[in-house]
Amino acid sequence: GNLATVVTTYIGGKGGGRNMMGDGFHWHTATKALPDKVGFWTQGETMTNSDWCVTWDYPNDFATTAVTVTVPAAWTAISNGLLQTTTLSSDKKRKTFAWKQDQPHATYLMSIVAGPMDVKYDKWRDVQLIYTVPKGKGNLIDDSFGDTKDMLEFYSNRLGVKYAWRKYAQNATFDFPGGMENVSATTLGEFGLTDAREGFRNMASLNSHELGHQWFGDLVTCKSWGDAWLNESFATYMEYMYFEHSRGKNAYDEEVNGGIQAYLGEARRYTRPISTKNYPDQEQMFDSHTYPKGGTVLHMLRRWIGDEAFFKGLNRYLTLNRHQPVESANLRQAMTDGSGINVDEFWVQWIEKPGHPILDYNWTYEEGKIILKVEQKQNTTTGIPIYKIPTKVGYITAGGLIRVPVTLNGATQTIEIPAGKAPSAVILDPDHDLLKEARFTWKREELLPIVLMAPCSVDKNEALRRLLRDNPTDSELTMIAAMIQKDRQMFPAIRSINGFISLEKPVLRTFFSMMATHPNINLQAEGLAGLARLPKTEEAIKLMQSKITPTGGITAVVNAIRALAEWDAKGNKALFAKAAKIPSRGDRIKRAADSALESAK
């Protein structure tokens, strides 16, 4: 056949906020405070790469791509694939970067990020790693991206599908409002960069989500935006999975619950099926149905069919559909074939219909039986089903929690569970396997047993919140404090002790002192805040002084400075002067120290 060459002159760069990230092509504008804020980024999802290049702007076709970009010589320009050449102009004022992505991908995943950068290179297996941040922020690279290799290893092993691309760049840049999984070159807002003294790997949530996309969204991509969940629900769930791997069960349970609560907030305004062909425009598909609802439905599917079947199904899906656009039906078939379990009924209830179960329950104990009444209260006139749900009932006895499998399948049902003695508490879905809205109130006497013995941290925290509001006795507080201070995991079951602080109870003094040395720096800071509300002692003063160090958690250091300023400002003047020299984001430590020095005058 005959070949035709078409030459176009293309003027772009005026996206006008046509997508969820703003523009297809975004220039930075320098300010007085940030004179080096120059450069640009591009953003293709959903359909705005056509703002800066001639392209097929829809996810249902894949292509290989090459990008050549010329920028000022002091800049770096990162794009997809591998760097082919870097050429300096003869006058040494400009540099040309040529990048090539030779594995096919959806065109909305093309990108360029350019500007003056601090850059760090690394390697994972045979994959080149690049971390870029705006010039001057290189000190944040390790704390922000130090777990990337662990994420790559975990995802590749868990899915049985190695990271597919030849490099992975993470580019933190000004003005970018979140993260975008451009193929082999994720774009991230520099506001997410973190210092280890602000918390444990605060950027891991964003980074694990965007890296998860390199499998779900990049290696396989939704064919139409009505199936955006095949990209976003999976990246959300990959983030939950990474938290489970790197932080443990409590952190996973909290992530899943956070997702459920975010979705329920949106569901009060509207509900829709997760997978749909009926949407007003593609940008509106990027909502809490696509992200957290879909993520928690994947959690539910995994809990229902079990780990082995779940990951076999995902492996089959990724392997069969590599470098291809997909629909929900492709995933459903792969999950059924890979797991050997028919997921059709699950699909109809959770993916193809709107809504969620709203469960109300109450229980009594009569003649050796727990009588449990459960109602599904969702409005079924809008297409929301009465759900058929395999779940469990947990009841707490002196020996711990006993689980009993049950199936919910009616608008109203009564379940009888034989039990030798009246339980001290009953929990429906004790492991939080379900996406549900629960409308019930635990009795006052159930709260302490739930705090002490519930298997899921979400129930422990909720019962504790209610108990602390309800005039807890000193003996209840002592029992709970003993449980909390024993849990020295970096991510313990009780994630905050703020509720104890306002009680100002002397019985909690030892507890607060113990928490001030907890491995979790947020709990350390709260322990110090609790201690600060009690009368000063020599021991407390010494503890506060020991916490003011350049390596301590920033909030903990600030809390210690404030306590000492109140207790003995003059006596700690020299310590405050030293603290004023400790660098911290937003100068938080310096500001606290300066204020303490004022009160020492």
Q: Is the pLDDT of residue 8 over 80?
A: no
> What sign does the dihedral 567-572-576-577 (CA atoms) show?
positive
Model confidence at 18, in pLDDT bands (50, 70, 90)? Answer: low
Q: Nearest-CA neighbor of 76 among 137, 154, 133, 147?
A: 133
Contact residues for 42 (Cβ-Cβ < 8 A; gap 6+): 24, 25, 26, 49, 51, 52, 110, 111, 112, 113
Q: What is the pLDDT of residues 484-512, one digit of tens each?
A: 999 999 999 999 999 999 999 999 999 99
Model confidence at 16, in pLDDT bands (50, 70, 90)? Answer: low
Task: Say which amino acid occupies 443.
Answer: K
- Degrees, nearest 5: CA angle 402-406-409: 155
Q: What is the pLDDT of residues 197-245, one digit of tens each?
A: 999 999 999 999 999 999 999 999 999 999 999 999 999 999 999 999 9
Q: Nearest-CA neighbor of 109 among 194, 193, 218?
A: 218
State residue 365's pLDDT score: 98
Model confidence at 462, in pLDDT bands (50, 70, 90)? Answer: very high
State residue 21's pLDDT score: 65
Residue 52: count other Cβ atoms within 10 Å of its Cβ: 24
Backbone angles phi, psi at 231, to 5 degrees: -90, -60
CA 562, CA 583: separation in Å to the nearest integer? 17
Across the beta sheet with 167-173, what order do the strands follow?
117-124, 127-134, 167-173, 185-189, 179-180
Model confidence at 17, in pLDDT bands (50, 70, 90)? Answer: low
Q: Quick one: average pLDDT of 264-281? A: 95
